[in-house]
A = this chain, B = another copy of it.
Amino acid sequence: MGELKKNFKAYLAAQGLKTTQQREVILDAFLASPSHLSTEEFYLKIRKKHPSIGYATVYRTLKLFSESGIAVERNFGDKQTRYEVLSDEEHHDHLVCTSCSKIIEFEDPEIERLQENVALRHGFKVLNHSLELYGLCADCTGK
């Protein structure tokens, strides 16, 4: 069993929560899906193979993923919350194309370091951050 699945099950056990068939199905589907899907998009996807699973369950389970630490919520300007898998110590930020909605991930340790510096200068302890660059991707620049 994958690391993430183990972590999630451990979280459930630790919280006195239960392993259910729905949670198993939703977790497998989540791990196999493209990143940055909204709750609605993900629900529609799951529904095809598992029509009996309700939207509320998908919604609640995605939140659980986030609480357990195996996923993170994202917001890219539109009003919808999006989710993506996140292994332990990874972290990345995003370029978001305002024309075609393409999302490009990037990591930049130097930016992260400078963010810490900013925080230090203000006696601030950073717990998490959000950095998105909005604009036109290479494909859309010419249009």
CB neighbours of A75 from chain B (8 A): 75
Copies in the complex: 2
Nearest chain B CB to A15 CB, angstrom units = 22
Q: Quick one: which of A121, A130, A132, A136 has the most chain B CB within 10 A? A: A130
With contacts A75-B75, A130-B132 known, what are 19 further pairs, Cβ within 8 A?
A77-B130, A95-B122, A95-B126, A106-B118, A106-B121, A110-B114, A111-B111, A123-B138, A124-B133, A124-B136, A124-B141, A125-B141, A126-B134, A126-B135, A127-B134, A127-B135, A127-B136, A129-B131, A129-B134
Are B135's CB and A119's CB within 8 A? yes
Cα distance A119–B122 when bound, in Å? 28
Answer whether residue A98 sits at the interface, using C-beta atoms and an 8 A cutoff: yes
Nearest chain B CB to A119 CB, angstrom units = 6
| Mask: chain A, 88-117; 1 = CB below 8 Å from B; 0 = not | 000000010110000010101011001100
Q: Quick one: which of A108, A124, A128, A134 has the most chain B CB within 10 A? A: A124
Name A's B-contacting residues (CB within 8 A).
75, 77, 95, 97-98, 104, 106, 108, 110-111, 114-115, 118-119, 121-138, 141
State which of B98, B104, B118, B134 has its C-beta within 8 Å of the C-beta of A133: B118
CB neighbours of A111 from chain B (8 A): 111, 114-115, 118
